[in-house]
C-alpha cells in the first residue's frame, strides 16, 4: 500500500507542474494571437485614416485596453496600446492573476510586427 501511495506521489509531483506549464503556454499563445490581431487592426485603421489608433471589436477605436480571460472570468492578460507617433505603436500583453507565474512576463509587438518578452527569446 505504501508503494502505491509513493508512486502516486511521484506521478503527481511530475504531472502537476507539467500541466500548469502547459496551461501557461496555452494562455501565452492566446496573448500572442491577440497582439497580432490588434496589430493588423491598427495597420488597417492607419491605411484608412493615416493615423494609428487603438482598436477593438469590428475595427472600432477603443481606449487601447483589452482583456484576455479564462472560462471562469479570471483575467489572464491585459493588452494595452501605446502610440509612439502617427505611424508607430507598441502593444503589450501584461500577465495577470495565475499567469503571473509565467517566466516570460510582459509580451510586446510593435508596428513592424517585431516581438519580444521580458523573459527572453524563447517566449515567442
- Determine the pLDDT at residue 105: 94
Report how many domains make up the chain: 1
Q: Could you tell me which residue, 116 or 3, shows the higher pLDDT?
A: 116
Range of the domain at 43: 2-123
Q: Is the pLDDT of residue 58 over 80?
A: no
| Mean pLDDT of the 56-79 span | 75
Checking 113-122 for CB contacts under 8 A at 24+ apart, the result is: 113/36, 113/39, 115/32, 115/35
Interior angle at CA 95, CA 120 and CA 111, nearest 5: 65
Inform me whether the pLDDT recorded for 16 exceeds 90: no
- Rounded CA separation 51/44 (Å): 10
Higher pLDDT, 5 or 87: 5
Q: Which of 41, 25, 99 is CA-nearest to residue 68?
A: 99
If you average pLDDT over residues 59-72, what whole number do you get?
A: 71
Amino acid at each position: 500500500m505504501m508503494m502505491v501511495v509513493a508512486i502516486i506521489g511521484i506521478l503527481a509531483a511530475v504531472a502537476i507542474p507539467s500541466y500548469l506549464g502547459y496551461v501557461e503556454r496555452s494562455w501565452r499563445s492566446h496573448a500572442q494571437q491577440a497582439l497580432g490581431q490588434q496589430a493588423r487592426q491598427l495597420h488597417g485603421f492607419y491605411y484608412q485614416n493615416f493615423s494609428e489608433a487603438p482598436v477593438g471589436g469590428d475595427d472600432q477605436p477603443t481606449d487601447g485596453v483589452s482583456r484576455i480571460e479564462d472560462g471562469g472570468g479570471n483575467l489572464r492578460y491585459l493588452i494595452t496600446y501605446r502610440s509612439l507617433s502617427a505611424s508607430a505603436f507598441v502593444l503589450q500583453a501584461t500577465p495577470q492573476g495565475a499567469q503571473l507565474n509565467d517566466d516570460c512576463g510582459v509580451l510586446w509587438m510593435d508596428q513592424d510586427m517585431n516581438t519580444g518578452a521580458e523573459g527572453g527569446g524563447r517566449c515567442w
